[in-house]
Amino acid sequence: MTKRVPLLCVSGLVVRYGAVTAVRGVDLAIGEGEIVSIVGPNGAGKTSLVSAVAGMVALTAGSVAFAGEPLAGIALEDVVSQGIALVPEGRHIFASLTVTENLLLGATVRGDADGVRADLDRSFDMFPILGARRRQPAGQLSGGEQQQLAIARALISRPRLLMLDEPSLGLAPAVVDRVYVLLRTVREGGVTILLIEQNAERVFGLADHVHVMSGGEFGLSGTAAEIKADRRFDAAYFGVHMHETVGDR
C-alpha cells in the first residue's frame, strides 16, 4: 500500500477514566484504503482508543481528525454521518428486531430510500445467511451470523472507515476465517479498515500495518510482515516498555 494523506489521524490521544489512564498519548494515522490493525492483550486500551475515535468516550487529551476535519466535540450520533462506522466488541445487535430492521438502522443517516433498498439487497448477496433469515429476530442468529449482521449493519451506512473491535471474539475458528474473508471483500470495495484484535496471528495475513498495544500505548509498529518477523513482538505484546517503528530502524 502506498502512503497517502491519512484518512484518520489520531495525535497524542489520552483517555482517562478517573484515576485510570487507558490510553497514553497514542499517535495513529490510517491512509485511505488501508487495513490497519491494533493488537494487544486484554486491558491494553484498544477498545478505549477505538471508542474515543467513535465518540463514545471523551478524549482527555490529544486530537482525532477524519478526512482532515477535527472530530472533537461531535455528538456520538453525528460520527457515523462523517463516514465512520463501528462494529463494537460484543456486536451489540438489536436482539428483538429482525435482521432487516437491524440493517435498516445501519442506514439511519442515509436519506436515499432507493439506495438503501439496493444496498439491503447487496448485503443479502454478500451475506447470504442474513438474506435467508431476514425476517427472524436477530437474537435467534448464531454468534457468527450476528457478527456478519453487525458488519453488514455498519457497511450499510456506506462508511469510508470501518472500525471493528475484536470481531473474532467468541467465534469458532472456521467462523472467524469466514469473517476475515468478508473483510478482505470489504477492503476491495474501497473501505478503509481499523481492526482491533487480541489474536495477532489472525491479522498478519490481512492488515497492511500493525500496531502492538500494551498498557495504553503502542509498543511496536510496522508492516504486518515486519511485526510478524520481529523478535520483540512478545515483549511489546506483554507490555515491556518500548516504542519503535520497525520500518524506521
Partner 1 sequence: MEHFVQTLVDAVSVGSLYALTALGIGLIFGVMRLINFAHGELITFAAYALLALFGLPTPVMLFGAIVVAVALALITERAAFRPLRNADPTTLLISSFAVSFFLQKLLILVVGSRLKGLDFLPTLGRQIAIMGVRLQLLQITTILVSAVLLVALTWFLRSTRLGLQMRAAAEDFRMARVLGVRANRVIAVAFALSGILAAAVSCLIVVQTGVVQPRMGLQLVVIAFVGTVIGGLGSLTGAALGGFLVGAASILLQALLPPDLRVFREAFVFVAVALILLFRPQGLIPARGLKERI
How far is CA 2 from each of CA 5, 31, 239, rounded to the nearest angstrom? 10, 8, 30
Task: Report the chain's terminal Cα–Cα distance, integer Å.
Answer: 19
> 249 Cβ partners below 8 Å, 6+ apart?
none
The residue from 104, 129, 175, 235 that contacts partner 1 (CB under 8 A) is 104
Cα–Cα distance, 24 to 16 (Å, whole number): 8
* Binding flag, residue 101, partner 1 (CB under 8 A): yes
C-beta of 28: minimal distance to partner 1 in Å? 20
* Binding flag, residue 95, partner 1 (CB under 8 A): yes
CA atoms within 13 A on the CB side of 114: 0
* Binding flag, residue 246, partner 1 (CB under 8 A): no
Query: Looking at beta carbons only, is 160 or 178 nearer to partner 1?
Result: 160
Q: Among 9, 140, 111, 115, which Cα is nearest to 62's?
A: 9
Query: Looking at beta carbons only, is 81 or 245 nearer to partner 1?
Result: 81
Residue 137 DSSP code: B
The residue from 37, 157, 214, 221 that contacts partner 1 (CB under 8 A) is 157
Query: Looking at beta carbons only, is 111 or 201 nearer to partner 1?
Result: 111
Cα–Cα distance, 76 to 44 (Å, whole number): 23
* Binding flag, residue 168, partner 1 (CB under 8 A): no
Angle CA 208–146–75, to nearest 5:
70
* Binding flag, residue 96, partner 1 (CB under 8 A): yes
Footprint of partner 1 on 111-150 (CB under 8 A): 139
The residue from 12, 72, 108, 177 that contacts partner 1 (CB under 8 A) is 108
Q: Among 107, 109, 103, 11, which Cα is nearest to 53's?
A: 11
Q: Are 101 and 94 in contact (CB under 8 A)?
A: yes
The residue from 72, 76, 132, 172 that contacts partner 1 (CB under 8 A) is 76
The residue from 88, 144, 167, 239 that contacts partner 1 (CB under 8 A) is 88
* Binding flag, residue 239, partner 1 (CB under 8 A): no
> Which window, 22-30, 93-101, 213-221, 231-239, contacts partner 1 (CB under 8 A)?
93-101
Return the number of other C-beta atoms located less than 10 Å from residue 13's C-beta: 24
Residues contributing to the site for partner 1 (CB under 8 A): 54, 56, 76-81, 86, 88, 92, 94-97, 101, 104-106, 108-109, 139, 153, 157
